[in-house]
Structure 1
Amino acid sequence: MKPQAMELVEGYRGGDLSPVEATRAALEAIEKYDEQVNAFVLVDAEGALAAAKESEARWHTGEPLGPGDGVPTSIKDALWTRGWPTLRGSTLIDETQPWDEDAPCVARLRETGAVILGKTTTPEYSWKGVTDSSRYGVTGNPWDASKTSGGSSGGSATAVGLGMGAWSVGTDGGGSVRIPAAFTGTVALKPTYGLIPLFPPSAFGTLSHAGPMTRTVRDNAALLDVISGFDARDWSALPTPARSFLDGLDDGVAGLRVAYSPNLGFVDNDPEVDALVRTAVEVLAEAGAEVTEVDPGFSDPVEAFNVLWFSGAAKVLQAYGDAVDDRVDPGLRRTAAAGAAYTASDYLDATAVRMELGLLMGWFHQRYDVLVTPTLPLTAFPVGQDVPDGWFSPEWTSWTPYTYAFNLTQQPALSVPCGLTSAGLPVGLQVVGPRHGDALVLRVGQAYQAITDWHLRTPTLEV
């Protein structure tokens, strides 16, 4: 197990570790594993080592720029990164245009002195729950490269899973940090909407969040500290948090009211997923949580989500006109065509469903502090396909029923690894909190990781 971000920072502070050593180790991991898993679209080894040397000098003088100074980090290729193209897995974007502005989270990472290694893979315009594109190919899983990493932040999850940097930042419009976290045995948070500002705004509107991706909950909280906070470029950005997300992280779950929903009332799970998640919930109960098995009481909101999501896909392709058919992922083209057929009334009806769901969950969290569910009902399936073999639907939302509801409601939702199946594939536990309850879901995840060691297991490709 490679050192995690907070271990690195403590090592830098004490002089036992160097940002240069950590960066070289991350670059060596990229060189060793990336040919098998295809997690990166761009790696700047020279620039990363130069940044690491500057960080090392700051630590030697006791003047680090911030709490992430020297931490090797990657960025999903959906977020603007100054000096590098942001191509979003698409052949439609002009690579030669000026790239002179950072997304808010990237700017915050530079300000803290993080070492940015490069950019990670995404499906075209982050439209689906697996990571492959005609521009960059397929991204494999750290536990089995023939299996998908999930998506759309699959490159970031695979990168942190294999030690190709301790931190990464992804985006999540319907599960896109949590899906790959569950499939790869890593940790990801979709925070309360607006906590991490976005610029430029997403075509998928207020469904889309940015989120920290790490190997541990503690690292996740530390990265959230760095990348959250007000940025005037995002009209919906929340105020900068008044305290660190590390504060109170170790307060445990004793007395917390935990609602456990094994299937939300409408999902069929793989039996091994069922068993591992139930065991994880028992761990929380043994740690003092007051666990009640109860469904939140909503029906599957997939149709409303699809109206909003498919409309966003239509908007993405609209800018390129009609002559893009042979240059676009066929699934994205199909989704965009469906989205273009929706009316304004359809969109408003879907928004009304969203508001009703938000109201229901607001009342639910008056009775329960958090809701826990599986992150996904299944484990990773083969790369290069949008759905499992023999699946009943071509839509990625058909196998992600636990994630997209909480993009509709904009609640924080955390995925932590909670076991391995008999085939050696990871399973995720999702912890959902009320809006603005980000510190609470991190606290529950940390309590679980303090007792278990699934987050410390070594991916198969490292063996």
Structure 2
Amino acid sequence: MTIEYAQVRDLSIHRIREGYETGEFTPAEIAAAHLDRIAGGDPCNAFCLVDPDETMRMAAASTARWQAGKPLGNLDGVPVTLKDALLTKGWPMLKGSWLNDADGPWTEDAPSVARLREAGAVFLGKTTTPEFAWKGVTDSDRTGITRNPWNLERTSGGSSGGAAAAAAQGIGAVAIGSDGGGSIRIPASFCGVVGLKATFARVPAYPASPFGQLSHVGPLARRAADIAEVMDVITGYDPRDPDVAWDARSAFRAGLEHILPGLRIGYSADLGFADVQDEVSAATKEAVLVLGEVLGASVSRVEPLFDDPIDAFHILWFSGCAKVLAGYGDRVGRETIDPGLLEVSDQGAELSASDYLDALAVRGDLRRRMAEYFLGHDLLVTPTMPRTAFEAGREVPDGSGLKRWTQWTPFTYPFNMTGNPAITVPCGTDSAGLPIGLQIIGRHGADELLVAVAAQFQKAVGLPGPATPAPSAAAA
């Protein structure tokens, strides 16, 4: 039987599993439908690697397990995509840069990839990222510009831009990305999907990021319930990540239906320093009211919690960029590297140890302030982004007068500095039909609560259909 992509692109993981259990369809049929969709065109430029033979090999093995009544678990046969910043055995990790050799060897899986492989998930391919995932939009000299599936003239965001663009179209039930300053939440908000930056080290990572404890691994999907399914698999101890607790346990799927009355939610429209578009403000304010009604929560406005930590973040981030390029030594050919990356790397190389320690002190103060806030609150809610997606192929919006991507992402990078879990969930669209995201932040370790709240919010407001990119001269 041939399954058409239109029949499978909006299936939840639960529905996929149900189809496998009843024999309605097989993992091989589902995988083939997704591969046919990718082969039919990738106008968003979401993928930088597709390996149909390997995908179908994985799908055939899963099909045999289901037919024998011996699936490996809840994700067996589920199609997933992997950001090209994650080690994947047999597939190159290029990170959007000519500095990386596709020939490898590539002999190891990152922890999250290994857990998915062990669970029987089927890998559809690797998704695009800007060079070394350094910025909040997705374009590079090596892999080109990644575009927004709701409007191909607009950016997908970044750095997990390919992951978000694929997820928004329903290509793969879930995508795995990474987030060092908003790299899951920015594109998830721009593309209209759910994206979770888990508590730092809740999802093990390897190799260690040059951006240190700013960097997190996490999933993106159209449904918060699918985020829960995947988090139960990719969390847990891995000896390659010394920051992960030995006794790490997860209960995401089990926690989805918990009744959550009496939550204390603080709402900040601008964190005291963000310039937010009117349509974004209106949509997120309405979403906060829905949260209060659906959850029976107590919602209050909160005063600014901290000053904008952008200068300290730049020290930490630019130092990481300098570390990235320094690792390539004489192989660095400046003519092929993103000019913005070169600029911030050069700035990072000029920073002193004292500068870095001062930035860590700011980070420590932010962590303290957020810990104190959560003594009296369960959640903090903000817009995810202060604006909707702008022109593709630009680091900053045209005519904005801004220079760096961090200047239009004020709601994301502070919570990389604090390590708190943060999830974005679609909460509306602007007048041009571009998605708007609501960000929900919790105390350290409250990841299950965030996913449950996002899932209940989606139950209340419903899900938009998968994006169907329209033809565009920009993508031609």
For the superposition of Structure 1 and Structure 2, which TM-score range results when normalised by the shorter chain? over 0.9
Residue identity opposite 1:359 in structure 2: R
The residue aligned with 2:405 is: 396
In structure 2, give the amino acid aligned to 1:357.
L
Deviation at 1:456, TM superposition (A): 3.2
Instruction: Confirm whether residue 428 of structure 1 aligns to residue 470 of structure 2.
Output: no
Aligned to 1:304: 312
Query: CA-to-partner distance for each residue in 1:202-261, whole Å, 9 max, x for gaps?
Result: 111111010111110000011111111111011112345434211121224421111111
Q: 1:364 aligns with which of 356, 373, 378?
A: 373
Where does residue 174 of structure 1 map in the other structure? 181
Q: Is the CA contact 2:76–2:120 (under 8 Å) kept in the aligned structure 1?
A: yes
- Match of 1:74, SS state, is strand
**CA distances 1:127-158 after superposition (whole Å, capped 9, x unpaired):** 00000000000001110111110000000011
Q: Does 1:216 align with 2:223?
A: yes
Q: Give secondary structure in 1 for the equivalent of 2:40.
A: helix
- Is contact 1:253–1:447 with CA below 8 Å preserved after alignment? no
Instruction: Find out whether 1:14 has 2:22 as its counterpart.
Output: yes
Whether the 8 Å contact between 1:296 and 1:361 is mirrored in structure 2 is no
| Equivalent position SS for 1:168 | strand
Equivalent of 2:252 in 245, 249, 271: 245
Query: 2: distance between equivalents of 1:26 and 1:336?
Result: 38
8 A Cα contact 1:48 1:115, kept in partner? yes
SS at match of 1:62: coil
Percent of residue pairs identical: 50
CA distance in 1, matches of 2:147, 2:303: 34
1:178-203 residue CA offsets vs partner (Å, 9 max, x unmatched): 00000000111000111111111111
Unaligned residue ranges in structure 1 (runs of 5+) = none
**Conserved 8 A contact 1:228-1:240:** no
Match of 1:353 in 2: 362
Q: 1:134 to 1:243 in 2, by over 3 A?
A: closer
Deviation at 1:32, TM superposition (A): 3.2
Secondary structure of 1:235's partner? coil
Matched, 1:90 2:97: yes
Question: What does residue 268 of structure 1 align with?
Answer: 275
- For the 8 Å contact 1:269–1:378, the answer to whether it is kept is yes
Deviates more, 1:320-329 or 1:256-265: 320-329
1:26 matched to which residue of 2? Answer: 34
Which 4+ stretches in 1 moved above 6 angstroms? none
CA distance in 2, matches of 1:444, 1:241: 22
2:148 matched to 1:146?
A: no
Report how far residue 325 of structure 1 moved.
Answer: 1.5
RMSD value, Cα: 1.4
Cα deviation, 1:325-355, whole Å, max 9, x if unaligned, reads 1121000000101111111001000000000
The residue number in structure 2 matching 1:333 is: 342
Q: How does 1:101-250 map to 2 (within 5 A)?
A: 101-239=108-246, 241-250=248-257
- How far apart are the structure 1 equivalents of 2:248 and 2:238? 12
Query: Helix, strand or coil for the counterpart of 2:195?
Result: strand
1 CA distance for matches of 2:154 and 2:267?
Answer: 29
Report the alpha carbon displacement of residue 296 of structure 1 after superposing the two structures with TM: 4.8
* Alignment match, 2:12: 4
CA-CA distance at 1:393 after TM superposition: 2.0
String of CA shifts for 1:267-319, please: whole Å, max 9, x gaps.
Answer: 11110000000110010111211111113511101111110000000011112
C-alpha deviation, 1:462, in angstroms: 7.4
Aligned residue for 2:265, secondary structure, equals strand
- Separation in 2 of the partners of 1:142 and 1:32? 15
TM-score of the superposition, structure 2-length normalised?
Answer: 0.94
- Do the aligned residues in 2 keep the contact of 1:55 with 1:70 (CA within 8 Å)? yes
Q: Post-superposition shift, 1:364?
A: 0.3
**Structure 1 residue 94: Cα displacement:** 2.0
* Partner SS for 1:443: helix
Match of 2:382, as an amino acid? T
Provide the rounded CA distance (Å) in 2 between the counterparts of 1:343 and 1:46. 49
8 Å CA contact 1:140, 1:149 repeated in 2: yes
Cα distance, 1:164 vs structure 2? 1.4
Alignment correspondent of 1:419: 428
User: Shift in Å at residue 33 of structure 1?
Assistant: 4.2
1:81 to 76, 88, 91: 88
SS at match of 1:356: helix
- Distance (Å, rounded) in 1 between the aligned partners of 2:249 and 2:461: 30
Query: Quick check: 1:382 aligned with 2:391?
Result: yes
Q: Which residue of 2 aligns with 1:46?
A: 53
Q: Do the aligned partners of residues 58 and 408 (structure 1) sit closer, same or farther apart at CA in structure 2, a change above 3 Å counting? A: same
Matched residue pairs, number? Answer: 461
Aligned counterpart in structure 1 of residue 63 of structure 2, from 50, 56, 64: 56
